[in-house]
Amino acid sequence: MAEDFNHELLCVLSGFGGQGLLFAGKVMANTGLLDGRHVSWMPSYGPEMRGGTANCSVSLSDEAIGTPFITKPTAVIAMNQPSVEKFGPGVQPGGTIIIDTTLALSGTEGVDIADGVNVVAFKATEMAEEAGLKGLANIICLGKLWAETHFCSRETLDAALAKCVPPKKQHLLEPNRKALQMGIDL
């Protein structure tokens, strides 16, 4: 196992159903599986799913994971304002919040964020659409989270992305790689 990454991550990925947060969480979880780490991936979504709220919790650790429930995340990807308001206050000092301000117009304004939390806000959905990568704001945010936290090696991240794109949708692998790189380069 490589030593050039952060060995523990407790991440909540949240937004509207249909934004691809469960997929981004699967990519993140697969990085842990590929590195032989302990992994927990727990999705949560309303009955309406697409357009309703959706989130998933991903834990990556070198130690056994006691519960899939994350109450004090070290990282959050929030792709809408309700997600910032619900999960932002729980982020541990030293943690990171990635916010897509395309749909989270107020960002952290009026939200009680702990001192020492790294807040990175940018218009991911708008960026994806302008780059011809509609629907891949989730992967741009994942790339930015990786750039901020290094939750795995870059090679592992690339391998996990390739593993998560199903064989029938291999034509989507290259756009996903471009979106990931956009987030990393921000």
pLDDT tens-digit map of 104-154: 888 888 889 999 999 999 999 999 999 999 999 999 999 999 999 999 999
pLDDT tens-digit map of 147-158: 999 999 999 999
User: Greater confidence, 68 or 53?
Assistant: 68
Residue 4 lies in a domain: no
Residue 2 lies in a domain: no
Domain containing 74: what range?
Answer: 9-185
Q: What is the mean pLDDT of residues 80-88?
A: 92
Residue 88 lies in a domain: yes
Q: Position of tokens 């991440």? A: 11
Q: How far apart are CA 133 and CA 136, in angstroms?
A: 6
Do 152 and 146 touch, CB atoms closer than 8 A? yes
Considering only CA atoms, which of 104, 108, 113, 181 is closest in space to residue 147? Answer: 181
Give the number of C-alpha atoms closer than 13 A to the C-alpha of residue 181, restricted to the C-beta side: 8
Q: What is the mean pLDDT of residues 32-49?
A: 83
Residue 116 lies in a domain: yes
pLDDT at 2 over 70: no
Query: For the domain that residue 169 is a member of, what is the CATH number?
Result: 3.40.920.10
Write down the pLDDT at residue 49: 52
Mean pLDDT taken over the chain: 90
Residue 3 lies in a domain: no
Residue 40 lies in a domain: yes
Q: How many domains does the chain have?
A: 1
Write down the pLDDT at residue 6: 55
Write down the pLDDT at residue 19: 87
Residue 27 lies in a domain: yes
Q: What is the mean pLDDT of residues 4-8?
A: 63
Residue 130 lies in a domain: yes
> pTM, whole model, 2 decimals?
0.91
